[in-house]
Amino acid sequence: MEFTSFIIPAIIILLFILIISCIKIVPQAHVYVIERLGTFHAEWQTGIHFMIPFIDKVAGKVSLKEKVVDFKPQPVITKDNVTMQIDTVVFYQVTNAKQYIYGVERPLAAIENLSATTLRNIIGEMELDATLTSRDIINTKITAILDQATDRWGIKVNRVELKNILPPREIQDAMEKQMKAERERREKILQAEGDKKSQVLVAEGEKESQILRAQAKKEAQILAAEAEKQAMILKADAVREKKILEATGEAQAIELVQQAKADALAKLNAVNPNEKVLKYKAIEAFPRIADGKATKIIIPSEMQGIAGLAAGLQSIVEKDETPEQ
């Protein structure tokens, strides 16, 4: 009885442990490959699953995350017989868990060997200089070849990068010397170009300075000519205005004289002068006629009558001056 009481709880515990062990929880981004009686049965995705004891077995646990593998440097020979060490970095992802488990043994070793042989084939068709300057082309070619080869293994190669390209030491020394010579050549070219640009800038500055001086001189002459022209115009305007004012004054004076004469005649007409007074006025005007600039003087035919008139006027004047008795 004591033995039976000990066996039953043990069996129950073992059954419980067995049941617990048959419950499988697949985490995110993972796939479990299940075999039943030694053959492929199913691919368990994320979640909880129950496995039949002693019949089902987990053949492999596959991660679907993208993985990065850094392979050690591989010796390769270029087309011009230069041996280099190149190491690659492969980015791959499992897309089919069944093919990944059953398609290839040691898939990472297979990818490493495949990338090494592919790299040797590609570099063997290129010269050293092209190899050093064509990383993108080499990466693209290797990626395409590896992706096509690993597709039947359930692996997708997303990207292949050349991490380091290490040529022999003597090649590195020669390249350093070449780069140094190239840098010195570029330095001399840049210095010569700088001197050339400096001289060109100095010449252009002198040219612009001369042009500006010439323009300033020209503008000064133009301004001086304009000022002289304005002065002459103002002077001419002043002379013209002076002459206009003088002519206006003379015209007004003549008009006033004529107006005075007209007024005098009007007054004479108003008082009805006799013939003797008119002849006397004619005698008064005669000296003014004689004082003119004319070279000829016309003497009236009635000069004797005018003389007689003068004598008569004189006698009248003397009679008026004689005091009364």
Q: Total domain count for the chain? A: 4
Together in a domain, 109 and 153: yes
Residue 175 falls inside a structural domain: no
In this structure, how many other beta carbons lie within 10 angstroms of the beta carbon of residue 79?
A: 13
Domain that holds residue 87: 67-167
Residue 316 falls inside a structural domain: yes
Alpha carbon distance, N-terminus to C-terminus of the chain: 218
Together in a domain, 139 and 155: yes
pLDDT recorded at residue 155: 93
Q: What is the mean pLDDT of each run of 10 residues along the chain (325 residues)?
A: 67 83 89 91 91 88 92 88 90 92 89 91 88 88 92 92 86 81 89 90 89 90 89 87 86 83 71 60 58 52 51 49 47
Rounded to whole angstroms, how far apart are CA atoms 299 and 278? 17
pLDDT recorded at residue 291: 55
Picking from 48, 63, 78, the residue at the C-terminal end of a domain is 63
Residue 176 falls inside a structural domain: no
Both tokens assigned to 227:
């000022």
Residue 180 falls inside a structural domain: no
Residues 100, 62 contacting (CB under 8 angstroms): yes
pLDDT recorded at residue 166: 85
Residue 17 falls inside a structural domain: yes
pLDDT recorded at residue 263: 78
Regarding pTM above 0.85, the answer is no
Picking from 16, 35, 63, the residue at the C-terminal end of a domain is 63
Residue 174 falls inside a structural domain: no
